[in-house]
Structure 1
Amino acid sequence: MFKEWVTVISAVIQLLLLQVTGQSPKSGLCIGNDCYTIHEDSKTFQNANDACNKQQGHLMTVRSTVANDVISILIPNKQGDFWIGLELRKGQCTNYDTTLRGYEWVTGDESTNFSNWKGNDSACTQQCVSVSSDLNWEERSCQDKVAGFLCEYNFNKTCDALPPDTDRSILYSTPLGFQGFDLLSLPPGSTATCSPSGFKAYCSSKGNGSAEWAEGPWDCQTNNGGCEHQCQMNNNQPQCLCPPGRELKDNKMSCTKIDACSITTCEHLCVPHEGSYICMCKDGYELDLDGKQCRDIDDCKMGHNLCDQDRVCVNTPGSFECKCKSGFADVNGKCEDVNECQLGPCEHDCKNVLGSYQCSCFKGYIKDSADHHKCKKLCYASECTAECDPNKTWHCTCPDGFVLDTREHLFVCVDLNECETGTYCDQLCNNSFGSYTCYCREGHSLHSDGHSCISEDIEEGSSTTSVTPVISVFATPTSNYTVEGETILTPGALLGIIICIVVMILVLVFLVHHVLKQRVKWDASSDFKSIGAEREVCLQQVTTEKYIKTSSFVKRNLKTET
């Protein structure tokens, strides 16, 4: 008895909650394992009961205050009377000694804990009971056609409502024809549809009398398995199918139009178009030839004046930037020259110029060909003093083409005669201070490597020219010496060379005369070096492979003539 009262109290609380929230079902509800529906269809008592029987139910029995509260929820503000399942059978008369006054429920019993008669009429003919919005029971002829009727359905087990979720709403649909979002329990055969996901569940009745929710799709013979289009059994498992051009959603039951963009590989943007798609790119990019990938547009090459004259355009992915030119820095929005010399990039002297800088070397030095920021010592004689570390006096260096030598505790740099080694030039060689020059015999030409000689094919009728060696002339440094290592001929030096050539011609004439007179042959020597920064150098080109050292001889003869 106690358990029954607990059930009743629980049901009343649930009904009151439904009334308070104003979210009661429109045409039915379930309490525990019992469900009730209201039908606004004018029928006689028997026809109304038959309509309930078609769904395995019967006209409603009102045995408790809980059932009476159900009626108050189902018919508020409704006009007219509604049949309930209470009748006085033919041949019976009203009996006030019983709660039901001799009436019986359509279930064939008189069990009840509740009654709510409107009047005290007596009758000995077949009578039936209806209820109105005032909830009072009224006796009337069973052949009357009232506004509607109330049905009752009893189940062994129902499904409890699914747990609530703030991110979704659940619409319940029952096989009894009513729907609701906040139903407390659901009869077997009911479905639950979650929004916005579209997932579905089915209240399935088990053989042991229990009922539980089954996730869709379910058996295809029940409501098409919950499938929107077609359901088929595959290895005893239900499977939903969609028509051509549509595909299943994530809920595996609903169908949606196939989105071509969902199966493509557009790098940036995909736009559906006439059943297909078009790939598009973001600003600053253009579509590649494959129609899917996007490549960056070099805005700086578009031919527009994107930046002012003080700045250069620098392309960036999808855009561009205006930056100061090399050697300039942005200072308060203006490009100003950077004084690179403050960073000490040069080994000797540094001169800042607009947008850059220039390195130069002290007198007696020349720029290093491998690194123009550094300087190396330059020697214009066959011997020069070595450059030594003041802290490590034994650690000395020489210019290229010179070797270190020690003379009376003095370190000197001596010119290396590359021609004497015989390994630098293929044929002929002319040594110079710190360097050498290769040249070839007649009929050969110097290769681009500066060392090898290549035979020349002389065609018929072509003229033959002799190969003249290239001789480097080093002049004594003057005030016109530059740090770039270049030798500049002043007018005085040019006049001296002309005089030297004239004197040389006179000397040669004299030598020829002297040789004929003495009948003595002089051998010519081909190498000449001037040692000493103050000695004048006079060279004459000849077509033979030998050179004559003449300086001392010429001076002796000049004295003799004098």
Structure 2
Amino acid sequence: MKQTDICRPFCSGTFCITLNQDKVDLKTAEASCQDRNGELMTFESEMDENIFDILRQELHGNFWIGLRLPSSACSNLSAPLRGYKWASSSVHGSFIPSFSTWKDSVKVCSPHCVSLSNDRKWTERPCSDKTDGYLCRTKHRDACQAQGLSDPDVFQSSKGCSDAPCEHICSAVRGGYKCSCFKGYIRDSQDPRQCKMHCEQQKCPAICDKHTDSACYCPDGFLNTDKICEDINECTMDSCDQECENTFGSFVCSCREGFLLKHQVKCIQAEHREGFVHATPITIGSVRPAANNDTLLSSSAPAGGFLWLWIFIVVAVAVFIFVIRFYVVKLQKRREQNSIQQSSGPVDNIEC
């Protein structure tokens, strides 16, 4: 399996030490090691020190190890381990690495844990701090190659789906969880735990509230007509300065030869760029409609503004035609009245 970038194994004999580059607190780091059938790194023998000499070249920052101060205890600066205890019950409390060097000499009494850096120094810090990563000890040589960890859609968590991290559907997997969405939605690229409405064709059924069937919504860039979401063709609204290609829910602007696209919709003269053509897809922004609004349009793209401008023009033309017709009819009636009055006027007497 493909090895992940945030976890690297350093193995010797029957066990491995894994370097995990994930900024988390100690509790999360400890749970993550347990999910991989391991535990936070502890030093049990000189072999551990030899492995550390190899992996220390890869340490950039501070990494949690399995050494913590017992609750309701204060550190003892005169003791080699300062009163800290190894997290593993298999480690003899008397074992002390030869390079054990503390970075600071300050007595602490609140819950503290220890991180290790590449200069072989131990740093006392609150267990709630987020370090640059953590070191795990495991007997599994495949610790960094588990399917759940190599899947980019997996969120690492020891709690899985227990705290409902996904907006729609949560699936627990080894080492974490995966989020998915209901039909008519896709995962939000800004936050894959959230979902947003999506349509991959020109028309899609609107998504309506089950309790109030009158409240129906459409994805950005679509118009709701009788509970059918129909793609808005932004290219008919002069959305682009030059070339325009309509896409479902959005549009793409491009420029002719010798021009450069600016601000996604404008084309400017390109200096010393002969034959240069550029196109940029327009991303329709998200707007949450009011309860009595059945149309969802863009807020960040000019589609909504052009739509209202187009409606205003159509209404203005209709009013103009109505006014012209009104005056034409009125003028025609006046002419008819004048004609009748002339025909009914006095007639000279004719003598026989």
Please indicate the TM-score interval, normalised by the length of the shorter structure: 0.3 to 0.5
TM-score by length of 2: 0.36
Question: Which structure shows the bigger proportion of residues in helix conformation?
Answer: 2
Q: Using CA pairs below 8 Å that are at least 6 residues apart, which structure has the higher relative contact order?
A: 2
Q: Which has the larger radius of gyration?
A: 1
